[in-house]
Each structure stands twice: as structure tokens, then as C-alpha cells.
């Protein structure tokens, strides 16, 4: 082998090593966007669907410290529907189900201080009626901040599996339509907004429910089984990640990693809110 040939081969080897090192150094592209799902907040006491203020603040600190941008849920929906380019990584969205009063007393001051967008999925039958629930005035104030989007969680949070079991097919179809339509119309009337997103109660969904939501004018709906939101996914079963109180520090990191590792979700649908 000539000196020139040997030198050329050595250079090729070194360039190959450099490319290999670069490939190894580059992080793998994420499977999709995490959409976090919360319910209630408490300054000190956790519960099955309640996170403490300290836990929630630590989760937000983790996201900021690891370069996440917290974006409006509408951005994620647009990417799933392929109406906008896929969102740049890493981004994440925050959602909160039901309409518990702690959303106003605990969560709202935090997101105002940190300027974080949040989507609330509300079942309006409880608003200004149930002792635990938000009021219409509180919802209006939060929406006026520009940080809070309000969407539907059906009218009274039914368990569709149970209703299907004891209703006739025709009655069940009418019941589904009532839950979807009454929720959207009530929220629209009270808040002067346009409701087009839905979170399925308990994460229960099936083709019949999805078809009813599409027929009623919703453009997307969210489950509750873990996994991540990806462009091209079924828009009426977009994945969300339930967030428990113990998920802080390494446990929160593990929650996000598990969602990316199992983008289709791997948490049972039964028993969630």
C-alpha cells in the first residue's frame, strides 16, 4: 500500500469514527409529545388523583430544567391532525380534568406566576352546583387570563360502559349524544367560547363513542392510558399521561420515559377519572 493510499484510508477511518461518535451523541427522536393529565391539587395532602403543590412545582421545575416548552394543547392537536408541522421537541402540554375548586385556588396562582398554558376539561353539570366544584365566575376569570383553555368532559361524567350495559341500543345512542351535546352547548353559552375538544370520562372510548363525538362537531378527543400524542394518530383517542403525586424527581422522569417507550399507552382504562 502506498503512503498516499494509507493516509487516505486513515483519514476515512477517522472521519467514520467522527460520524459514528456524532450519531451516538445525538438523542433519539421522541416518539411523540407527552400530554399530562391532572385532576386536583392540594397544598399538603395527596390522594389518588390529587397532587400536592410541592410535587406539582417540582414537576414544572423538572420540565424547565430539561428544556421542555409547555405549549397550548391546541398546538398538539394541530400536529396530530397534520394541520400544522410537527411540534419541535421537546414540548409538553398540561390538562386538568373535572373542574375541582383547587384548580382555581391552587393551580391558577402557579400558572399565572409561571405563565403556563393549561387546558381544563370540564363537566358542566357540577359547575356552581357541587360544593367541590369551580364556579362559572372562576372559569370566566381563568379563561380571561389567556392562559386557560376550557373544553368538554361530557355533561355529567358518566361511565359509558355501565350505561351501555343497562340501556337499549337506541337509548344508549341518545344518551351519548345528550352527554356530548349538552356539555358543549352549556360551556359555549356560559363562557362565550367554541368547544371542540373532549376528554373521555375514565378514559373509556370505543368506535361508537368516537363516531358520536365526530358527528357532534368535536375535532379531537383524549384518552387516559399513558403514551404520547403523535402526528397521524386517531384524533379521537389521543393519548394522555395520568400524573400521580409520587411522580417527582426520578419517578417523574421515569413516567415521561415510559410514555415515550410505550407511545400507544400501557395503562388500563378502567377506574380512572
Cα gap 44→55, rounded to integer Å: 10
What is the span of the domain harbouring residue 5? 1-30
CA 115 – CA 66 distance, rounded (Å): 17
State the chain's mean pLDDT as an integer.
Answer: 88
Extract the C-alpha cell encoding 239.
393519548
Helix (H, G, I), strand (E, B) or coil at 221: strand
Q: How many domains does the structure of the chain reveal?
A: 2
In a domain, residue 272? The reply is no
Same structural domain for residues 147 and 56? yes
For 50-115, give the DSSP string. Answer: EEEHHHHHHHHHHHHHTT-EE--HHHHHHHHTTSSPPPPSSEEEEEEEE-BTHIIIIIHHHHHHHT
Among 147, 151, 145, which residue's Cα sits nearest to residue 70? 147
pLDDT exceeds 60 at position 273: no
In this structure, are 21 and 73 located in the same domain?
no
What pLDDT does residue 83 have? 84
Same domain, 209 and 139: yes
Percent of the chain with pLDDT over 70: 86
CATH code of 57's domain = 3.20.20.370
Mark whether 133 and 151 lie in a shared domain.
yes
pLDDT digits (tens, 9 = 90+) for 28-37: 445 799 999 9
Which of the four pLDDT bands, split at 50, 70 and 90, describes residue 209? very high
Per residue in 41-64, pLDDT (tens digit) is 999 999 999 999 999 999 999 999
- Asked if residue 9 and residue 117 are part of one domain, the reply reads no
In a domain, residue 16? The reply is yes
The contacts of residue 249 (CB under 8 Å, 6+ apart) are 58, 62
Same domain, 109 and 4: no
Q: Per the domain annotation, does 266 fall within a domain?
A: no
Three-state DSSP at 131 gives: coil
**12: its cell numbers:** 476515512
In a shared domain, residues 24 and 72? no
**Full 3-state SS string of 93-106:** EEEEEECECHHHHH
Amino acid at each position: 500500500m502506498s503512503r498516499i493510499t494509507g493516509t487516505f484510508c486513515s483519514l476515512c477511518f477517522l472521519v467514520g469514527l467522527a460520524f459514528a461518535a456524532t450519531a451516538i451523541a445525538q438523542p433519539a427522536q421522541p416518539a411523540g409529545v407527552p400530554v399530562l393529565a391532572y385532576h386536583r391539587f392540594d397544598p399538603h395532602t395527596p390522594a389518588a388523583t390529587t397532587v400536592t403543590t410541592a410535587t406539582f412545582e417540582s414537576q414544572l421545575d423538572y420540565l424547565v430544567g430539561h428544556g421542555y416548552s409547555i405549549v397550548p394543547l391546541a398546538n398538539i392537536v394541530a400536529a396530530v391532525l397534520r394541520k400544522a408541522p410537527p411540534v419541535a421537541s421537546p414540548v409538553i402540554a398540561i390538562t386538568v380534568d373535572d373542574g375541582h375548586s383547587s384548580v382555581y385556588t391552587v393551580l391558577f396562582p402557579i400558572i399565572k406566576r409561571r405563565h403556563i398554558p393549561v387546558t381544563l376539561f370540564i363537566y358542566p353539570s357540577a359547575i356552581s352546583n357541587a360544593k367541590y366544584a369551580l364556579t362559572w365566575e372562576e372559569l370566566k376569570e381563568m379563561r380571561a387570563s389567556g392562559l386557560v383553555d376550557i373544553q368538554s368532559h361530557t355533561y355529567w361524567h358518566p361511565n359509558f360502559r355501565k350505561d351501555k350495559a343497562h340501556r337499549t341500543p337506541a337509548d344508549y345512542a341518545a344518551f351519548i349524544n345528550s352527554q356530548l351535546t349538552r356539555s358543549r352547548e352549556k360551556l359555549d353559552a356560559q363562557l362565550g367560547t367554541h368547544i371542540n375538544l373532549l376528554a373521555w370520562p375514565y378514559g373509556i372510548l370505543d368506535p361508537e363513542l368516537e363516531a358520536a363525538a365526530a358527528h357532534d362537531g368535536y375535532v379531537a378527543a383524549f384518552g387516559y392510558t399513558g403514551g404520547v400524542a403523535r402526528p397521524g394518530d386517531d384524533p379521537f383517542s389521543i393519548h394522555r399521561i395520568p400524573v400521580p403525586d409520587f411522580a417527582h424527581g426520578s419517578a417523574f422522569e421515569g413516567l415521561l420515559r415510559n410514555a415515550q417507550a410505550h407511545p400507544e399507552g400501557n395503562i388500563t382504562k378502567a377506574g380512572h377519572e
